Amino acid sequence: MDKVKWLQQMVEQSPQDAQAHYWLGKELAENGSLLEAVQSFSTGIACCQDEELRIEIIQELTAVSSRLQQQKIKETVPSSEELLEEGYSEPNMLVDQQTNLQQLKPKLKVIEGNGSNKEVKSVSNTITFEDVAGLEELKKTITLRIISPFFNKGLFAKFKKKSGGGVLLYGPPGCGKTFIARATAGECKANFYPVHITDILDPYIGVSEQNLKDIFDKARFQKPSIMFFDEVDTIGYSRSKSSSHLRGVIDTFLSEMEGIDTSTDEVLVMAATNTPWDIDNALKRPGRFDRLIFVAPPDEKARKQIFQLKLMGRYAEEIDVAALAKKTEFYSGADIENIVEMASENVLEEILTTGNERPLNTNDLMHALSNQQASTLDWLRTAKNYVKYSNQSGLYNDIEKYLQKHSRSI
């Protein structure tokens, strides 16, 4: 077994192990699998809790992104050896290469100065709150604080409330923060722009900052729009703890959210994070991410619906999803999906071994459930410490209420 396969098995067994994703990414990069390396590093950043390791992963991700760009240039422009093989003479080679490079430059076209003719690419909005299982209280909060201003601009303008600004979704991993953001965009009927760390970071000085500014400019051009930054702590990390090459990105982020010559009116900036306490305090002040919304683990009703959704279309008997929902308190949507996948794999293994085909049943899911713990508990216990010692400003009151309600179980 080679090293890559061995690391891939480690990642499958421990999907939340950031260090495993880090070493897999490094090995993939060394073997030339750059796209796979970018994916592995990005996943590692998403589940990383260690500050030093996160910085190392970001540095590796930046280096791999640079290699990808250089690789694309090499694939487009032929080398000297290739030109010689095709019959080009050495005296004319430089001229031919310059001609090739000129052909790569964008062709400029004069168009009428009518802004309505311009188009900015956005993700199609087909997801709404009907596609989100449970979380009724969260939906009500989002409807009141985010969606209503988009449809009642006149009313909100009377109270000098703008439709836009910043909203930070935070909570345990795997509880649907990204899905809720897309559903919100669908409800608002707004252009949705998901922003990934690879869209921003660049190894050259000043380019990352310009990339971030360009993304905000595109969103402002097609109002109303919703921008979504997943794992925002990777670019909004506390400046007192972050490395020097990331501080410029954070400063640009602060300026674009609310600066002297910038505005987020009719541009809603949504972001998600598992570690809100790591985000720079200036980003969490009024005027930037002034609305923090806690996305809790799904309640019993939501868990029942998630089981139904994940079992839909599978070869299964009638499953007692109500019993499964009762036994999965604090389980995230990702945990429930994993339980269904594990149960399906066990049944397939049994069928392949015995040759007797049978459907998935409730006992199979109960058995898979007995081998998995709720992944949100570690996060909730960590949050408990932050609420106890770092909630003087009241930012984490939502978590505090949730923890008090479930204090006996956590």
Give ranges for CATH 1.10.8.60 in the chain. Answer: 300-370
pLDDT of residue 342: 95
pLDDT of residue 87: 53
Backbone φ and ψ for 166, nearest 5 degrees, come out as -125, 140
Give ranges for CATH 3.40.50.300 in the chain. Answer: 120-294
d(CA 49, CA 18): 8
The sheet carrying 291-294 orders its strands as 191-195, 225-229, 267-273, 165-170, 291-294
Domain covering 300-370 in this structure, CATH number? 1.10.8.60
Q: Which of 103, 112, 162, 140 is nearest to 286 (CA)?
A: 162
Element (H, E) at 209: helix 207-221
Q: Which of 88, 71, 69, 227 is nearest to 146 (CA)?
A: 227
- The maximal CA–CA distance of the chain, rounded, in angstroms, is 81
Q: Which DSSP category does 79 fall into?
A: P
pLDDT of residue 264: 61
Q: Which of 186, 190, 214 is nearest to 200 (CA)?
A: 214
The residue whose two tokens read 């722009």 is: 193
d(CA 147, CA 145): 6
Domain covering 3-76 in this structure, CATH number? 1.25.40.10
CATH topology of domain 120-294: Rossmann fold (3.40.50)
pLDDT of residue 393: 75
pLDDT of residue 365: 95
pLDDT of residue 303: 92
pLDDT of residue 323: 95
Strand 267-273 versus strand 191-195 pairing type: unpaired
pLDDT of residue 93: 47
pLDDT of residue 265: 67
Q: What is the pLDDT along the chain (410 residues), one digit of tens a residue?
A: 577 787 787 778 777 888 888 888 888 888 888 878 888 878 888 777 777 787 788 878 878 777 777 766 665 555 555 545 555 444 454 445 444 544 444 444 444 444 333 344 555 546 888 888 777 777 887 787 777 777 777 776 666 666 667 888 999 998 888 888 888 878 877 778 888 888 888 888 888 889 888 888 888 887 778 888 888 888 877 777 766 677 888 888 888 887 545 566 677 888 999 988 888 888 888 778 878 888 899 989 889 999 998 999 999 999 999 999 999 999 999 999 999 999 999 999 999 999 899 999 999 999 999 988 999 999 998 888 888 877 777 778 888 888 888 888 77
Q: Is this structure's pTM higher than 0.85?
A: no
pLDDT of residue 163: 61
